[in-house]
Amino acid sequence: MPDIPLSDRSPGAPRAAGSAAFSPLYQQIKGLLLQSLDRGEWKPGEAIPSEFDLAARFQVSQGTVRKAIDELAAENLLLRRQGKGTFVATHNEARVRYRFLRLTPDEGRPPVSGSRILECRRVKSAPDVARLLDLRMSETVVNLRRVLSFDQVPTILDDIWLPGAVFRGLTAESLARYRGPLYALFESEFGVSMVRAEEKIKAVRAGAEPAELLQVPEGEPLLQVERVSYTYGDRPMELRRGLYLTEHFHYRNSLN
Protein backbone atom coordinates (compact mmCIF):
# COMPACT_ATOMS: atom_id res chain seq x y z
CA MET A 1 0.00 0.00 0.00
CA PRO A 2 2.13 2.79 -1.32
CA ASP A 3 1.11 6.10 0.27
CA ILE A 4 3.65 8.06 -1.72
CA PRO A 5 2.79 11.75 -1.73
CA LEU A 6 5.96 12.33 0.31
CA SER A 7 8.63 14.68 -0.97
CA ASP A 8 11.45 13.37 -3.12
CA ARG A 9 13.28 10.89 -0.95
CA SER A 10 16.34 10.07 -3.00
CA PRO A 11 19.47 10.06 -0.81
CA GLY A 12 20.82 13.50 -1.49
CA ALA A 13 17.58 15.21 -2.44
CA PRO A 14 17.54 18.78 -1.19
CA ARG A 15 14.04 18.27 0.24
CA ALA A 16 12.67 21.56 -1.05
CA ALA A 17 15.77 23.34 0.20
CA GLY A 18 15.20 27.00 0.82
CA SER A 19 11.62 26.68 -0.37
CA ALA A 20 8.95 28.59 1.46
CA ALA A 21 6.97 25.47 2.30
CA PHE A 22 9.57 23.14 3.73
CA SER A 23 7.99 20.36 5.73
CA PRO A 24 10.06 17.75 7.54
CA LEU A 25 9.38 14.13 6.75
CA TYR A 26 7.99 13.35 10.19
CA GLN A 27 5.45 16.14 9.79
CA GLN A 28 4.31 14.59 6.53
CA ILE A 29 4.02 11.22 8.29
CA LYS A 30 2.09 12.91 11.08
CA GLY A 31 -0.29 14.29 8.49
CA LEU A 32 -0.82 10.85 6.98
CA LEU A 33 -1.48 9.36 10.41
CA LEU A 34 -3.99 12.13 11.09
CA GLN A 35 -5.78 11.34 7.83
CA SER A 36 -6.00 7.69 8.81
CA LEU A 37 -7.39 8.64 12.22
CA ASP A 38 -9.89 11.02 10.69
CA ARG A 39 -11.07 8.48 8.13
CA GLY A 40 -11.54 5.96 10.93
CA GLU A 41 -8.94 3.48 9.75
CA TRP A 42 -8.17 2.92 13.45
CA LYS A 43 -11.01 3.44 15.92
CA PRO A 44 -10.80 5.02 19.37
CA GLY A 45 -9.38 2.55 21.86
CA GLU A 46 -7.81 0.39 19.15
CA ALA A 47 -4.09 -0.10 18.61
CA ILE A 48 -2.47 1.39 15.54
CA PRO A 49 0.21 -0.63 13.68
CA SER A 50 3.61 -0.91 15.34
CA GLU A 51 6.26 1.68 14.66
CA PHE A 52 8.14 -0.90 12.66
CA ASP A 53 5.14 -1.67 10.44
CA LEU A 54 4.38 2.00 9.87
CA ALA A 55 8.02 2.64 8.98
CA ALA A 56 7.80 -0.06 6.31
CA ARG A 57 4.47 1.27 5.03
CA PHE A 58 5.74 4.82 4.69
CA GLN A 59 9.24 3.80 3.61
CA VAL A 60 10.98 5.78 6.31
CA SER A 61 13.05 4.82 9.33
CA GLN A 62 11.43 3.83 12.60
CA GLY A 63 12.88 6.95 14.23
CA THR A 64 10.97 9.18 11.86
CA VAL A 65 7.67 7.43 12.52
CA ARG A 66 8.51 7.64 16.19
CA LYS A 67 8.85 11.39 16.10
CA ALA A 68 5.51 11.75 14.31
CA ILE A 69 3.82 9.57 16.92
CA ASP A 70 5.58 11.53 19.69
CA GLU A 71 3.80 14.67 18.61
CA LEU A 72 0.41 13.01 18.30
CA ALA A 73 0.88 11.50 21.74
CA ALA A 74 1.82 14.91 23.16
CA GLU A 75 -1.44 16.26 21.74
CA ASN A 76 -3.34 13.39 23.36
CA LEU A 77 -4.52 11.97 20.07
CA LEU A 78 -2.56 8.79 20.64
CA LEU A 79 -1.59 6.95 23.78
CA ARG A 80 1.59 4.91 24.06
CA ARG A 81 1.73 1.88 26.28
CA GLN A 82 5.10 0.27 26.61
CA GLY A 83 5.13 -3.36 25.67
CA LYS A 84 1.59 -3.22 24.28
CA GLY A 85 1.45 -0.74 21.47
CA THR A 86 0.14 2.71 20.55
CA PHE A 87 -3.59 3.32 20.92
CA VAL A 88 -6.09 5.81 19.60
CA ALA A 89 -7.21 8.06 22.45
CA THR A 90 -10.78 7.67 23.62
CA HIS A 91 -13.09 9.38 26.08
CA ASN A 92 -14.25 5.91 27.10
CA GLU A 93 -11.34 5.03 29.32
CA ALA A 94 -11.03 5.53 33.04
CA ARG A 95 -7.64 7.21 32.62
CA VAL A 96 -8.82 10.01 30.39
CA ARG A 97 -12.52 9.97 31.10
CA TYR A 98 -13.97 13.40 31.70
CA ARG A 99 -10.76 14.83 30.26
CA PHE A 100 -12.50 18.12 29.54
CA LEU A 101 -14.31 18.45 32.86
CA ARG A 102 -12.36 20.89 35.01
CA LEU A 103 -14.84 21.37 37.80
CA THR A 104 -13.53 19.90 41.05
CA PRO A 105 -14.87 19.85 44.60
CA ASP A 106 -13.14 22.32 46.94
CA GLU A 107 -12.50 19.42 49.27
CA GLY A 108 -13.16 15.73 49.34
CA ARG A 109 -13.46 13.03 46.75
CA PRO A 110 -14.73 13.47 43.20
CA PRO A 111 -18.48 13.13 43.62
CA VAL A 112 -21.01 10.82 42.02
CA SER A 113 -22.52 12.55 39.03
CA GLY A 114 -25.89 12.26 37.37
CA SER A 115 -27.42 13.85 34.29
CA ARG A 116 -30.98 14.98 33.63
CA ILE A 117 -31.88 15.79 30.03
CA LEU A 118 -34.15 18.81 29.80
CA GLU A 119 -34.51 19.00 26.09
CA CYS A 120 -33.21 17.62 22.81
CA ARG A 121 -34.54 19.12 19.64
CA ARG A 122 -33.48 19.91 16.11
CA VAL A 123 -33.62 23.59 15.24
CA LYS A 124 -32.35 26.13 12.73
CA SER A 125 -29.04 27.49 13.99
CA ALA A 126 -28.88 31.05 15.23
CA PRO A 127 -26.22 33.20 13.52
CA ASP A 128 -23.74 33.07 16.40
CA VAL A 129 -24.06 29.29 16.73
CA ALA A 130 -23.65 28.83 12.98
CA ARG A 131 -20.54 30.98 12.97
CA LEU A 132 -18.87 29.16 15.86
CA LEU A 133 -19.67 25.74 14.39
CA ASP A 134 -18.62 26.82 10.91
CA LEU A 135 -22.07 26.06 9.45
CA ARG A 136 -24.18 27.90 6.92
CA MET A 137 -26.71 30.24 8.47
CA SER A 138 -29.93 28.50 9.52
CA GLU A 139 -28.50 25.06 8.95
CA THR A 140 -30.05 22.44 11.24
CA VAL A 141 -28.42 21.90 14.61
CA VAL A 142 -29.23 19.66 17.54
CA ASN A 143 -29.86 21.65 20.69
CA LEU A 144 -29.41 19.69 23.88
CA ARG A 145 -30.00 20.97 27.38
CA ARG A 146 -29.23 19.15 30.60
CA VAL A 147 -28.53 19.54 34.28
CA LEU A 148 -25.58 17.71 35.82
CA SER A 149 -25.75 16.94 39.52
CA PHE A 150 -22.90 16.04 41.84
CA ASP A 151 -23.94 13.98 44.84
CA GLN A 152 -27.54 14.81 43.95
CA VAL A 153 -26.87 18.57 44.01
CA PRO A 154 -27.66 20.33 40.69
CA THR A 155 -24.39 22.04 39.74
CA ILE A 156 -24.05 22.45 35.98
CA LEU A 157 -26.57 23.67 33.45
CA ASP A 158 -25.39 22.84 29.92
CA ASP A 159 -26.76 24.20 26.67
CA ILE A 160 -25.22 22.27 23.78
CA TRP A 161 -25.35 22.65 20.01
CA LEU A 162 -24.21 20.01 17.52
CA PRO A 163 -24.17 19.97 13.70
CA GLY A 164 -27.43 18.31 12.71
CA ALA A 165 -26.01 16.61 9.65
CA VAL A 166 -23.50 14.67 11.73
CA PHE A 167 -25.60 13.90 14.78
CA ARG A 168 -28.61 12.27 13.15
CA GLY A 169 -30.75 10.14 15.42
CA LEU A 170 -29.66 11.78 18.65
CA THR A 171 -32.80 11.89 20.79
CA ALA A 172 -33.76 12.63 24.37
CA GLU A 173 -34.74 8.96 24.74
CA SER A 174 -31.40 7.54 23.62
CA LEU A 175 -29.65 10.05 25.86
CA ALA A 176 -31.80 9.26 28.88
CA ARG A 177 -30.73 5.62 28.72
CA TYR A 178 -27.06 6.46 28.35
CA ARG A 179 -24.62 6.58 31.27
CA GLY A 180 -21.18 8.15 30.96
CA PRO A 181 -19.54 11.10 29.24
CA LEU A 182 -21.27 12.60 26.20
CA TYR A 183 -17.97 12.63 24.35
CA ALA A 184 -17.75 8.85 24.67
CA LEU A 185 -21.22 8.56 23.16
CA PHE A 186 -20.24 10.86 20.31
CA GLU A 187 -17.31 8.57 19.54
CA SER A 188 -19.13 5.27 19.57
CA GLU A 189 -22.45 6.34 18.06
CA PHE A 190 -21.48 9.11 15.66
CA GLY A 191 -17.80 8.54 14.97
CA VAL A 192 -16.89 11.98 16.21
CA SER A 193 -13.72 12.21 18.33
CA MET A 194 -13.25 15.43 20.26
CA VAL A 195 -9.62 16.22 20.34
CA ARG A 196 -9.24 19.75 21.62
CA ALA A 197 -11.41 22.56 22.95
CA GLU A 198 -11.28 26.29 23.55
CA GLU A 199 -13.08 27.89 26.45
CA LYS A 200 -14.08 31.42 27.37
CA ILE A 201 -14.99 31.96 31.00
CA LYS A 202 -16.88 34.73 32.72
CA ALA A 203 -18.67 35.41 35.98
CA VAL A 204 -22.36 36.17 35.46
CA ARG A 205 -25.55 36.60 37.43
CA ALA A 206 -28.05 33.72 37.37
CA GLY A 207 -31.14 34.56 35.35
CA ALA A 208 -34.60 33.35 36.32
CA GLU A 209 -34.52 30.02 34.51
CA PRO A 210 -30.97 28.94 35.41
CA ALA A 211 -31.65 29.95 39.01
CA GLU A 212 -34.67 27.70 39.16
CA LEU A 213 -32.94 24.76 37.49
CA LEU A 214 -29.89 25.03 39.73
CA GLN A 215 -32.05 25.75 42.75
CA VAL A 216 -30.33 28.98 43.75
CA PRO A 217 -31.63 32.53 44.15
CA GLU A 218 -31.86 34.67 41.06
CA GLY A 219 -28.75 36.83 40.77
CA GLU A 220 -26.46 34.18 42.25
CA PRO A 221 -22.94 34.43 40.75
CA LEU A 222 -22.28 31.61 38.30
CA LEU A 223 -19.30 30.62 36.21
CA GLN A 224 -20.22 30.85 32.54
CA VAL A 225 -18.12 28.61 30.33
CA GLU A 226 -18.41 28.74 26.56
CA ARG A 227 -16.66 25.85 24.92
CA VAL A 228 -16.03 25.02 21.28
CA SER A 229 -14.78 21.47 20.79
CA TYR A 230 -12.86 20.35 17.73
CA THR A 231 -12.37 17.01 16.05
CA TYR A 232 -9.48 16.00 13.79
CA GLY A 233 -8.44 18.73 11.41
CA ASP A 234 -9.61 21.47 13.76
CA ARG A 235 -13.20 21.12 12.62
CA PRO A 236 -15.57 22.53 15.27
CA MET A 237 -18.14 19.91 16.24
CA GLU A 238 -19.74 21.16 19.42
CA LEU A 239 -20.66 24.44 21.02
CA ARG A 240 -21.42 24.21 24.71
CA ARG A 241 -22.52 26.97 27.01
CA GLY A 242 -22.34 25.90 30.63
CA LEU A 243 -23.32 27.61 33.84
CA TYR A 244 -21.43 26.25 36.83
CA LEU A 245 -22.40 26.70 40.43
CA THR A 246 -19.09 27.28 42.23
CA GLU A 247 -20.11 27.49 45.84
CA HIS A 248 -18.49 24.16 46.72
CA PHE A 249 -16.64 23.55 43.47
CA HIS A 250 -13.93 25.32 41.52
CA TYR A 251 -12.58 25.29 37.99
CA ARG A 252 -8.98 24.13 38.13
CA ASN A 253 -6.37 25.14 35.64
CA SER A 254 -2.64 24.73 35.16
CA LEU A 255 -0.44 27.37 33.60
CA ASN A 256 2.82 26.43 31.95
Least distance (Å) between residue 251 CB and its own copies: 4
Least distance (Å) between residue 152 CB and its own copies: 21
* Residue 250, amino acid: H
* Contact call for residue 256 and its own copies (CB under 8 A): yes
* Contact call for residue 10 and DNA (CB under 7 A): no
* Residue 99, amino acid: R
Which of 168, 127, 160 has the alpha carbon at shortest distance from 144? 160
Torsion of CA 57, 59, 63, 65, to 10 degrees: -40
Choice between 38 and 139, CB closer to its own copies: 38
* Contact call for residue 255 and its own copies (CB under 8 A): yes
Q: Which of 126, 201, 213, 216 binds its own copies (CB under 8 A)?
A: 201
Least distance (Å) between residue 165 CB and its own copies: 25
Rounded Cα distance, 20 and 194, in Å: 32
Q: Residues of 226-251 as b/e, b for ≥16 C-beta within 10 angstroms?
A: ebbbbbbeeebbbbbbbbbbeeebee
Q: Which of 50, 59, 61, 76 binds its own copies (CB under 8 A)?
A: 76
Q: Which of 227, 237, 238, 242 binds its own copies (CB under 8 A)?
A: 227
Rounded to a whole number of angstroms, the distance between the first and last alpha carbons of the chain is 42
Choice between 91 and 164, CB closer to its own copies: 91
* Contact call for residue 39 and DNA (CB under 7 A): no
* Contact call for residue 15 and DNA (CB under 7 A): yes
* Contact call for residue 72 and DNA (CB under 7 A): no
Rounded Cα distance, 92 and 70, in Å: 22
Q: Which of 1, 74, 81, 108 binds DNA (CB under 7 A)?
A: 81
Which of 89, 62, 87 has the alpha carbon at shortest distance from 75? 89
Q: Which residues bind its own copies (CB under 8 A)?
A: 74-76, 99-100, 102, 196-205, 219, 221-224, 227, 244, 246, 250-256
